[in-house]
Amino acid sequence: MAQPLSSTSSDFIRDIIDEDLRAGKNDGRVATRFPPEPNGYIHIGHAKSVCLNFGLALQYQGTCNLRMDDTDPVGESMEYVESIIRDIRWLGFDWQDRLFYASDYFEKLYQFAVLLIKRGDAYVCSLNADEIREYRGTFTQPGKNSPYRNRSVQDNLDLFARMRAGEFPDGAHTLRAKIDMAAPNIVMRDPILYRIKREPHYRTGNKWVIYPMYDFAHCLSDALENITHSICTLEFENNRPLYDWIVERLIEKNRPRQIEFARLNLSYTVLSKRRLIELVEKKYVAGWDDPRMPTVSGLRRRGYTPESIRQFCAAIGVAKNDNLIDVALLEHCVREDLNENAPRAMCVLRPLKVIIDNYPEGKVQQLTCANHPQRPEMGTRQVPFCREIYIEREDFMEDPPKKYNRLAPGREVRLRNAYVIKFESMVKDEKSGEITELHCTYAPETLDGPPADGRKVQGVIHWVSAEHSVPVEVRLYDRLFTISDPGAEEDFLKFLNPASLEILQNCRAEKNLADARPLTRYQFERQGYFCADEKDTKPGKPVFNRVVPLRDSWAKIAAVS
RNA sequence: UGGGGCGUCGUCAAGCGGUAAGACACAGGAUUUUGGUUCCUGCAUUCGGAGGUUCGAAUCCUCCCGCCCCAGCCA
């Protein structure tokens, strides 16, 4: 089932919006925005915000803008802008013609700053970075007024214009709001509004050498776009008084309102941009879209569906509690989607040859297999059966434990969609002792039913024809970290999971999979859900990524005994 | 330490003075040509703690405890 683009369940933000609507605020409009800084790829945490903001717009028949919050040229680039656009589209959301850039507001923001100066609410400060820090005071001690705090409006106007004109070196001056150096909230101690930074901007080039700070640019960008509810994460709660201070002075009506919610934390991974960049730059992963990454592009390449991510975001809810969501919930959401929608196929990951002695040599039978056991409308496919097949190595045990219901000496099993076979003998490599092939016999009457004498055959295993199957590469992914909360560790790289990727080169897939298109997903029966790799799948030569294994109650039983 | 925020099941999360939703996880059982799916069943006498108000408190009051955020010319 496709998941709705917005969740219908309520939360404290929807309660606030309902109240605002009831009170007749903003002419009944709801306008949100998703404001990423294009200095990295977006991840599942951003997806939570995307679903929230766009979901709200859909639910209240409002709008949600996409705005690049590009006020600090360091690290920002068009590559990131493009990835963000691609990822949000893929998630299923649409901002129509409302793609905006804070950098497009630079001139307007500059004029707002001039207005503030004229009113005596901002001044040019010539303290250097160290001095500013010293003057700021500490949590327990109030700050001191800058000696430049009382410059005349005229001087401030002149200096600010010259800052813009590039007359001063980086760091020589800043524009500061004149608020209160003794404010208990440090954010309000004459916050910096503009800094001089000679850094080419990926959009404005060398036009500007002064750039507005987040606190100044963000609230005004919201106002310029007529945003009604500016939703951000909890760490900005301290900044809300400043948001309001600026907006109250510069915006007359329909002032946007900031609301904060708790950012997502996911178990067994990291979500901070700094740490993700480190994983990429130090090559612990193959890139931003490595299937082990919690980035949207990584999840896409891994095989996650947009529906499953939306469903996940709806399931975790929105609140203000710090949280660490169990990655099992994310996995549950893809399984739910893929169980419903992914066609089934057979693929043997670690092949063991089986020769069916009583099956005629050279005979090939086309067996009809359902593409989905519960959805006949998904059709059937033909799978060839012959004398030599491959089964999974772990589906045979010479000396099986209790409750093992697969193949073993003296036992029989059902080949999925095919016959019941019985073990006859095995061949071992003399040197290594490794089992190289099995000999079995099949019961011809069991294609569509139980053995003639009605005896029960418990186990069912998957298989492929030795002759007709195709070789494929399969990549088995596991969690990137060995501990549930690596983000809490200073030295988080110590906890990287050395087994997060296992590459299997000799898998055998039914031939129908040979031409799998990139990003198509299947359930390999009895194994899990797999997705043809977006980049490495070539025509006739697919590479499959394991999205997530099937739930495995046998593994639990086997682990106990 | 000053300020801000948050504490309800292992993990999320409803609850807004009328007697603890739901989801994931976990544990049983049924059905099954995927040890999958599906279906039943169980899973907080209790809401960080202690007092108080009330016929009645997770919800109101008081005090205490714990965790998170803020001292970038990052966002």
What are the pLDDT digits (tens) for A316-326? 999 999 999 99
> Residue for token digits 């005349």?
A152
The pLDDT tens digits of the residues spanning A87-108 come to 999 999 999 999 999 999 999 9
- The 3-state DSSP class for residue A259 equals strand
How far, in Å, CA of A546 to CA of A521, rounded?
10
Per DSSP, the residues of A169-183 read: -TTS-EEEE---TT-
In the residue annotation, A273 being an active-site residue is answered as yes
What positions of strand B are covered by protein, i.e. any atom < 7 Å from a CB? 1-8, 10-16, 22-25, 27, 33-38, 67-75
Closest nucleotide to A132's CA, by C1' atom? Answer: B73
The pLDDT tens digits of the residues spanning A342-371 come to 999 999 999 999 999 999 999 999 999 999
Please determine, for residue A43, whether its predicted confidence score (pLDDT) is greater than 60.
yes
Mean pLDDT of A408-427: 98
Through-space separation of residue A529 CA and nucleotide B11 C1' in angstroms: 24
Catalytic hit among A144, A273, A479, A511? A273
| CA distances, A97 to each of A64, A82, A94, A473 (Å) | 11, 15, 9, 42
Catalytic hit among A29, A37, A393, A416? A37
Between residue 531 and residue 550 of chain A, the positions with Cβ below 7 Å from nucleic chain B are: 550
Within 8 A by CB and 6+ apart from A305, the residues are A334, A337, A338, A341, A521
Between residue 156 and residue 185 of chain A, the positions with Cβ below 7 Å from nucleic chain B are: 170-171, 174, 184-185
Cβ of A324 less than 7 A from strand B: yes
Through-space separation of residue A12 CA and nucleotide B64 C1' in angstroms: 28
Through-space separation of residue A241 CA and nucleotide B60 C1' in angstroms: 28
Q: What separation, in Å, do the N-terminal and C-terminal C-alpha atoms of chain A show?
A: 38
How far, in Å, CA of A246 to CA of A177, rounded?
9
Q: What is the pLDDT of residue A162?
A: 98
Please determine, for residue A159, whether its predicted confidence score (pLDDT) is greater than 50.
yes
Radius of gyration of chain A (CA): 31
CB distance A372 to A417 below 8 Å: no
How buried is residue A269: exposed, middle or buried, by Cβ count under 10 Å (0-12/13-18/19+)? buried
Between residue 26 and residue 55 of chain A, the positions with Cβ below 7 Å from nucleic chain B are: 35, 37
Per residue, the 3-state secondary structure of A67-95, as one string, reads: EECCCCCCCCCHHHHHHHHHHHHHHCCCC
Q: If pLDDT is split at 50, 70 and 90, which confidence band does A560 have? A: confident
Closest nucleotide to A339's CA, by C1' atom? Answer: B37
Cβ of A195 less than 7 A from strand B: yes
Closest nucleotide to A174's CA, by C1' atom? Answer: B73
Cβ of A287 less than 7 A from strand B: no
Within 8 A by CB and 6+ apart from A336, the residues are A308, A311
Q: DSSP secondary-structure letter at A550? A: P
Q: What is the pLDDT of residue A285?
A: 98
In the residue annotation, A14 being an active-site residue is answered as no
| CA distances, A375 to each of A1, A180, A446, A526 (Å) | 13, 67, 24, 18
Through-space separation of residue A508 CA and nucleotide B27 C1' in angstroms: 37
Through-space separation of residue A314 CA and nucleotide B6 C1' in angstroms: 21
Q: What is the pLDDT of residue A132?
A: 98
User: Which structure tokens are listed for A535?
Assistant: 């980049």
Through-space separation of residue A140 CA and nucleotide B4 C1' in angstroms: 14
The pTM score is 0.96
Residue among A229, A204, A232, A238 at smallest CA distance from A109: A204
How far, in Å, CA of A13 to CA of A19, rounded?
10
User: Which structure tokens are listed for A358?
Assistant: 């009583």
Mean pLDDT of A392-401: 97
Residue among A327, A349, A306, A287 at smallest CA distance from A476: A349
Report the percentage of chain A scoring pLDDT > 90.
Answer: 96
Residue among A302, A289, A70 at smallest CA distance from A279: A289
Within 8 A by CB and 6+ apart from A475, the residues are A291, A501, A502, A503, A504, A533, A543, A544, A545, A546
User: Which structure tokens are listed for A343?
Assistant: 């066609």
Q: What is the pLDDT of residue A7?
A: 47
How far, in Å, CA of A442 to CA of A115, rounded?
88
Reported ipTM: the value is: 0.97
| CA distances, A154 to each of A19, A111, A119, A131 (Å) | 45, 15, 11, 24
According to DSSP, the β-strands at A351-356 and A388-392 are antiparallel
Mean pLDDT of A5-30: 88
Q: If pLDDT is split at 50, 70 and 90, which confidence band does A3 have? A: very low
Q: If pLDDT is split at 50, 70 and 90, which confidence band does A9 have? A: confident
Through-space separation of residue A556 CA and nucleotide B35 C1' in angstroms: 10
Residue among A315, A419, A332 at smallest CA distance from A48: A315
Cβ of A239 less than 7 A from strand B: yes
Q: If pLDDT is split at 50, 70 and 90, which confidence band does A561 have? A: low
How far, in Å, CA of A346 to CA of A348, rounded?
7
The pLDDT tens digits of the residues spanning A494-550 come to 999 999 999 999 999 999 999 999 999 999 999 999 999 999 999 999 999 999 999
Please determine, for residue A2, whether its predicted confidence score (pLDDT) is greater than 50.
no
Cβ of A129 less than 7 A from strand B: yes
Please determine, for residue A8, whether its predicted confidence score (pLDDT) is greater than 60.
no
Catalytic hit among A25, A86, A249, A263? A263
Please determine, for residue A412, whether its predicted confidence score (pLDDT) is greater than 90.
yes
Q: What is the pLDDT of residue A1?
A: 36
Q: What is the pLDDT of residue A52?
A: 98
CB distance A525 to A415 below 8 Å: no
In the residue annotation, A263 being an active-site residue is answered as yes
Question: Which protein residue has its CA closest to C1' of B67?
Answer: A322
Residue A183: alpha-carbon gap to chain centroid: 39
The pLDDT tens digits of the residues spanning A296-310 come to 999 999 999 999 999
Closest nucleotide to A419's CA, by C1' atom? Answer: B33
